[in-house]
């Protein structure tokens, strides 16, 4: 069983429409749609926005649906000037950029009393995503990169430059690192796949609503191909 999480309706609705749904279960206010896509057993869920929702959703997928792997699909802002709007970032690793215990002597982004604060995606899932991007025939560029997550929309040049300098991130959003964190603690393979909706700079507030639907459509097309190839 594959677990697929999107934060917003636009990020999962088309996948759910493509499913042969066998059952729906609502837990913690989230509707988990179970069934088949491309003949594969999947459960697709809208987590809601933010790290707490994403972490709760991931734990439910693992505990109650016994998923073999967790996929996070959706949109993000680019932190890398080479990665343009509608391009895709396949996570190599993920980190929470708003974890800040610097007052106690920790580096920014480090989670106290944990062995790791940067969570590495599964190498087989990375290869699968890259192959599927080629097979899907999408006219976009696909990058491997570091995903940053925090409970804030990044929309200024100052914030973007800080995240690039401090964390060497390639894209930024609000859920992926929480999903990565939860999956890693449970020993479940994960990957975050994000299509760029904006450049996370001063134009983000205008770019995001303009390109959100196109970016989400590319994410869904890629996710369908990943499921087919899994």
Q: What is the mean pLDDT of the chain?
A: 93
Residue from 11, 87, 207, 212 carrying the catalytic annotation: 11
211-224: pLDDT as tens digits = 777 777 787 889 89
CATH code of the domain occupying 2-229: 3.40.50.1580
Question: What pLDDT is attached to residue 49?
Answer: 97
DSSP code string of the chain: -EEEEESSHHHHHHHHHTSEEEEEEEETTEEEEEEEETTEEEEEEE--SSHHHHHHHHHHHHHHH--SEEEEEEEEEE-STTS-TT-EEEEEEEEETT---GGGTPPTTPPTT-S-SEEEPPHHHHHHHHHHHHHHT-SS-EEEEEEEE-SS---SHHHHHHHHHHH--SEEESSHHHHHHHHHHHT--EEEEEEEEE-SSTTHHHHHHHHHHHHHHHHHHHHHHHHHH-
Question: What pLDDT is attached to residue 209?
Answer: 67
Domain spans of the chain, in order of start: 2-229
68, pLDDT greater than 70: yes
105-116: pLDDT as tens digits = 999 999 999 999
Catalytic annotation on 198?
A: yes
Residue from 87, 173, 198, 201 carrying the catalytic annotation: 198
């Amino acid at each position: 069983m594959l677990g697929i999480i999107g934060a917003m309706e636009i990020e999962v609705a088309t996948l759910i429409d493509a499913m042969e749904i066998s059952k729906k279960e609502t837990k913690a206010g989230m509707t988990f749609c179970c069934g088949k896509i491309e003949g594969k057993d999947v459960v697709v869920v809208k987590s809601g926005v933010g790290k707490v929702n994403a972490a709760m959703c991931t734990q439910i997928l693992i505990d109650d649906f016994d998923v073999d792997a967790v996929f996070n699909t959706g949109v993000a802002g680019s932190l890398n000037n080479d990665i343009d709007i509608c391009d895709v970032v396949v996570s190599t690793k993920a980190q929470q950029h708003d974890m800040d215990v610097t007052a106690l002597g920790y580096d920014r982004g480090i989670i106290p009393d944990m062995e790791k604060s940067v969570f590495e995606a599964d190498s087989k899932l990375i290869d699968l995503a890259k192959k599927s991007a080629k097979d899907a025939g999408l006219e976009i560029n696909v990058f491997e990169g570091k995903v940053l997550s925090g409970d804030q929309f990044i929309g200024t040049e100052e914030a973007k430059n800080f995240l690039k300098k401090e964390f060497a991130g390639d894209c930024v959003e609000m859920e992926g690192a929480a999903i990565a964190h939860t999956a890693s603690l449970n020993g479940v393979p994960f990957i975050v796949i994000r299509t760029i909706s904006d450049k996370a700079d001063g134009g983000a507030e205008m770019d995001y609503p303009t390109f959100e639907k196109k970016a989400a459509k590319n994410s869904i097309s890629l996710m369908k191909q990943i499921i087919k190839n899994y």
